[in-house]
Amino acid sequence: MNRKKFSLGVCQLRTELEYEATMEKAAEMISFAAKSGAKVLVLPEMFSCPYAREYFHAFASRGHEETCRRLSSWARENRVLLIGGSVPEVEGDRIYNTCFVYGADGELLARHRKVHLFDVDLPGMRFHESHTFTPGSEITVFDTPYGKMGVAICFDVRFPELFRAMARRGAELICLPAQFNMTTGPAHWETTMRTRAIDNELFFVAAAAARHEGFSYECWGHSLILDPYGTKLAEADETEQLLLAELDLNRIDEVRAQLPTFLHLREDVYAVTN
């Protein structure tokens, strides 16, 4: 296996109000992606739970174990590395917005708890994830057969220090399950994602949910797969769809040779610890 080259897929699916309906769609899309050659798959933020406060506790009350069991099974049955979007993870009396990552053998590779919670007061929208979730406190970078990867979740992307720290820890690909909305999406989605790829000269995958028109929180969609130069390798619209792209990690070396920003960091002036 040439770990430097592989096919990656983003499953931009719409989360339904009925849990089993969402699980069936996810299973079908993952199976189709694997048959299409994808070796790494990424699901959206809160793919198993409607993204609205009135649903968080209800879906968390059933526990995250069943969803994780299915993620593990999908990874194993389809022989893919699965970045499992995020789910409401329950630990004691706390709920986390958590991404679980499973290898092609179905074993857990990593877990990322959303570090920066979405507490905002936008025109026409007030949303406070901290009323439900507890923030995580770890930078998530892990080894895979396809190179070193990092994971963050949605609002994390607005804090560039986190992504520079992942790059400093060797991440070659960062995956971001997300749900930007109809205000922040048109304004900031593509610009922010491309900036993180360009800043850190690595592959960047922003995996959004498909839009659920009329729902209290409408996701912008528009999942992206970006190369280290910020070039779009694949882009979705707002509908349910599968994105596929071929990634060649040699491209990182090419870009960093052309623009050797990591050689010119002024750690005598500033530093992001690794």
- Catalytic residue (choose from 49, 99, 154, 175): 154
Rounded distance between C-alpha atoms, residue 150 and residue 166, angstroms: 6
Chain centroid to CA 226: 13
DSSP secondary structure letter of residue 106: S
Assign residue 53 a region (left: φ > 0; alpha: ψ between -120 and 50; beta: otherwise): alpha
H-helix segments, 179-273:
184-200, 250-258
End-to-end CA distance of the chain: 29
49 is catalytic: no
- Catalytic residue (choose from 25, 114, 129, 238): 114
114 is catalytic: yes
Tokens describing residue 256:
């960093």
Assign residue 147 a region (left: φ > 0; alpha: ψ between -120 and 50; beta: otherwise): left
Q: Are strands 173-178 and 203-208 parallel, antiparallel or unpaired?
A: parallel
Tokens describing residue 1:
């296996």
Placement of tokens 């910020």 in the chain: 230
Tokens describing residue 68:
């994780």
Tell me the C-alpha to C-alpha distance, in Å, between residue 153 and each of 66, 83, 85, 197, 206: 21, 11, 8, 15, 9
- Catalytic residue (choose from 39, 45, 68, 89): 45
* Residue (of 178, 166, 161) closest to 271 by Cα position: 161
Tokens describing residue 219:
């996701």
The residues annotated with a catalytic role in the active site are: 45, 114, 154
